[in-house]
Amino acid sequence: MFPALETDLKQETHPDPYEDFMYRHLQYYGYYKDSSVLSSPLLKRRQLLREEFGEANPRLREPRDLFAFFSGSEPLQAPRWPVECEVIKENIHHIERVPPQPEYFYQPTGHEKAPEVVGEDKGTVVYQLDSVPTKGSCFTSSRVGGKRGTIKEPAVTLQGPEDNTLLFESRFESGNLQKAVRVDTYEYELTLRTDLYTNKHTQWFYFRVQNTRKDATYRFTIVNLLKPKSLYTVGMKPLVYSQLDASTRNIGWRREGSEIRYYKNNMDDGQQPFYCLTWTVQFPHDQDTCFFAHFYPYTYTDLQYYLLSVANNPLQSRFCKLRTLCRSLAGNAVYLLTITNPSRTPQEAAAKKGVVLSARAHPGESNGSWVMKGFLDFILGNSPDAELLRDIFVFKVVPMLNPDGVIVGNYRCSLAGRDLNRHYKTVLKESFPCIWYTRNMVKRLLEEREVLLYCDFHGHSRKNNIFLYGCNNSDRKYWLHERVFPLMLSKNAPEKFSFHSCNFKVQKCKEGTGRVVMWRMGILNSYTLESTFGGSTLGDKRDTHFTTEDLKSLGHLVCDTLLDLCDPDRAKFMQCLAELKELLQQEIHKKFNELGQDVDLGESWNDISLSDIESSTSGSDSSLSDGLPVHLLNIADELNQKKRMDKKKKKKPPQTRKQRNEQYHKNNLIRELKSTEDALERAGFASAVQKRSTLPKDSGHASSSTIQSEKPRLSESQFNGRDQGLSLDPSETTALVLTKNKERMQRENPGHTVSCSPKRSTNNSREPAPDATSKWLRDRFLATKRGRATMVVYPSLHVCTYP
C-alpha cells in the first residue's frame, strides 16, 4: 500500500529482530558472499527477499501495512476503554459545516442571573454515573467496549408523552458529564466528571440531551468548574448541535446561549473553590436529540477515518508513511506519519531538514486537532507549495499524543492521572509511552538531520486569539531568531494570530513541557501553539468566535510561514529581525518607565536579558499534575506510610548540633546526680574531694596528673553507650564526677589550670597536648554529620529503560 521511499524513511522499518541479527552476523563474518549460505533454510524467512533466478542479493521486505483494518473493506479498530467505564453501543457522528454568518461574542448586560446551587437534596437526580474511577484508584486494564456486562440506564424513565424531563447521556467517545439534577421544570444543575484517576481538571464538557421542547427556555448550570478565570466571562458561548437540523437543513455545530455568566460557587467543601457556568437556551425542535460541547469535538475515531482516507489514496500514499509510534496505556495506537517526497539521490535525502508536529497532549483541547487537520490537508495536497515543502523537508507528525484521554473525555491528563506535557523528561517508558517514544523519535531524527521546527498544538481557555510560546535563545549568534517564525505567522494571519500574546520565557515549572525539552535537545525553533477556545479580537474578525475552518486555515498558514522562513532570499527574515529589535527596544523603555526610570541605553540595550523584561506564562493553561503516575504514586505512598510507622517504633536521634548538645548534657546531668549519691558514701572519695578543693594553684598539675594516671580516660564506645542512655560502672562514674569538680574549680578560679581534658577547650590561646585532645568527640561529630545526609531514605523505584 505504501511504496518504498528513500533513505530518509528507512529507519521506520521494523524487521524481525532474529532475522536482522542473523543477517548482520553472517555479513560481519563475510558469509553474505556465499550463495549456499544464503539459500540455507535458516535464511529462508519471509522478511528477506532475493533477486530473481536465485541471485544472492538479499534485502529486507517492505514493512507490512500498519493496520490490517486499513484495507478499506474491514471496520476501523474500536477504541479501548478502561474496564471501569460503561460505554453505549451507539456511534456518534456530527456533520462538519461552517456557519454562513459570523458568530459574535455574547455581550453581557450585567443583569445575568447567578443561580445558587441547590443540589440533589432539593432537586431530582435524572442522570448519574456510578462506576467512574477517581482519585485513589489507578488504571489497571482496558477492553473494547469498556465495562463488561449489561449497560444500565442511568437516566430516568419517562412516565408518558407529557413528561418533559430531559434525558442525558455522555457514555460515548469524548463525552463528559457525571451528574444532572433537575431543580425546576426547565432548569438543571450539571456536574462534570473529573479526569479519570484524579479529583481535578473539570473544563471539557460534551453530552447529549433528548426529549426537548421547542417553546421552552432551559437553563443549564455547570457547578464544579475549577478555574477562576474563563473566556465565558468575556463573551464565549457554548456549542449546540441539533440532529434534526443536521439531517434536514445541513446545519452543524453553532454557538448558542443567553444570560451567560461565570461566577464562584456558593458551595465550599473546604478544599478548593468551585465555579459555575450558567446559560439559557431554546431548542429548535420538539423531541429532538441535541448535543452540548465546550468546543468542536474531534475524537479518536474521527482521526482514524481521516487516516483511512489517506491510506486508501494512491497519490498520497506515495509520500506519506503511516506507522504505529507506540501503544498507549489502554492499548490504543499512537500514529506517526512521515511525509516527504521520494529523494532521487542519497545526498538529496540527507540534505532535507526535519519538522516535527504534534497535537492533543491535552485531550480536551480539540482545537489542536483542527489545526492539525488543516496542516495535513495542505501538506498532503497537490499544490506547488505543498510539493516544494515535501521536497525540502521530512515531516514527522503525531496527530494525537493522548488517545486514551481523548476517548474517555479527559480534559488534561492521560490514564496515568498526569499531564503529559509536564513529563517530556520522563524515564518511565511504561507509564508515559506516548511521550517517551515521541522524544526518542525526535532524538533519532536529530542524529541524522537538522530539525528546523518543533511545534505542539494546544488550546487556551483564558486568552483569545492564537499565539505561540517559545524559548529565548542565549546564543548571541542567533539572537531573536526564535521570534522570527511567530512574527512571520502574525503577518500571514493578522486577523487570527497575535504576536503580542506570544511569550518566550522559560520557567522552571515548564521544564518538562515539549517545547522546552526539544529546545534543550537542540531545536532552536521549538514552540507550543495555543489556539483559543473563543475567538478573535483582531481586525475584521474582532469579537467573533473561531470556527473549524478558521483553525484549519491556520494549519495552512503554518505551511506558508515555513516557506517564508526558508526562503533563499533572506529579505523577509532580515526585515523581521529589524522589526523585532525595534519592538524589543520599545519594550525595554516601557519597563524602565514603569519603574520610574528614564535611561538612555545606547548600544548596550541588546545585552539585557530577555527573560528580565518578559512576563511569565502563568496565564497559560498549566496544571499541578506533575510527579509519579498514579499507580506508582500509590505504591510510594504505601512505602512512605510503612516507613513512618517504623520510625515511630524507633527513637528518633537528634538532628541538629544544638539538639545533640542538649541531649548530651541532659544525659550527663542525670548520670552525675545518680552516681554522686553512691560516691559520697565512700569516705575516701569525700576526703579526696575535700583535699583537692584546698590545693594551691601550683600543685594543681600534680594532683590532676595523679588522678589521671589512676584512671584512664573513658573510651569512645563507653561515651557512645552513655549517649544512648546506658549505665556506666562505678569506677567510670567516679572519674566522671572528679572531672566535673575540676571544671567547677576552673570556673571559680580562672587562673587555675586543670590538666584533665575538658569536653571543649575554653582557652583558645593554648592548644591541648596531642595525647589530651578529645579526638573521639571530633570524630563522632563528623560521623554524625555524615549520617545526617543519609538519615532519610526514600523508597527506590527501579525502572528499566531501553535505548
Catalytic (active-site) positions: 530
Helix/strand/coil for 128? strand
**Residue 347 burial class via C-beta count within 10 angstroms: exposed 0-12, middle 13-18, buried 19 and up:** exposed
Other beta carbons within 10 angstroms of residue 223's beta carbon come to: 24
The secondary structure element, H or E, covering residue 528 is: strand 525-532
Whether 134 contacts 70, CB under 8 Å: no
How many CA atoms lie less than 13 Å away from 799 in the CB half-sphere?
12
CA distance 417 to 133: 11
DSSP string of 237-249? --EEEEHHHHHHH
CA distance 223 to 797: 39
Alpha carbon distances (Å) from 129 to 146, 151, 178, 315, 366: 14, 11, 6, 46, 24
The secondary structure element, H or E, covering residue 327 is: strand 320-327
CA distance 293 to 295: 5
Cβ-Cβ contacts under 8 Å for 485 (sequence gap 6 or more): 453, 468, 525, 527, 561, 565
DSSP string of 379-448? HTS-SHHHHHHHHHEEEEEES-S-HHHHHHT-SS--TTSS-GGG-TT---TTTSHHHHHHHHHHHHHHHH
Cβ-Cβ contacts under 8 Å for 230 (sequence gap 6 or more): 236, 262, 275, 277, 461, 462
Q: Burial code of 145-177, b = ≥16 C-beta within 10 A, e = fewer?
A: bbbeeeeeebbbeeeeeeeebbbbbbbbbbbbb
CA distance 347 to 614: 43
What does DSSP say about strands 206-210 and 289-293: parallel, antiparallel, or unpaired?
antiparallel
CA distance 441 to 435: 10
Cell numbers found for residue 478: 542567533
The secondary structure element, H or E, covering residue 673 is: helix 657-680
Return the residue matching grid coordinates 567547677.
744
How many CA atoms lie less than 13 Å away from 745 in the CB half-sphere?
23
CA distance 93 to 297: 10
Q: Which of 226, 314, 206 is nearest to 272 (CA)?
A: 226
Cβ-Cβ contacts under 8 Å for 305 (sequence gap 6 or more): 76
Q: Which of 218, 262, 220 is nearest to 112 (CA)?
A: 262
DSSP string of 701-722? HHHHHHHHHHSPPPPHHHHHHH
Whether 394 contacts 379, CB under 8 Å: no
Q: E-strand spans in 107-176?
A: 124-128, 142-144, 167-169
Give the phi and the psi of residue 208 in degrees, each rounded to 5. Answer: -120, 145
Partnered with residue 190 across adjacent β-strands are 180, 222
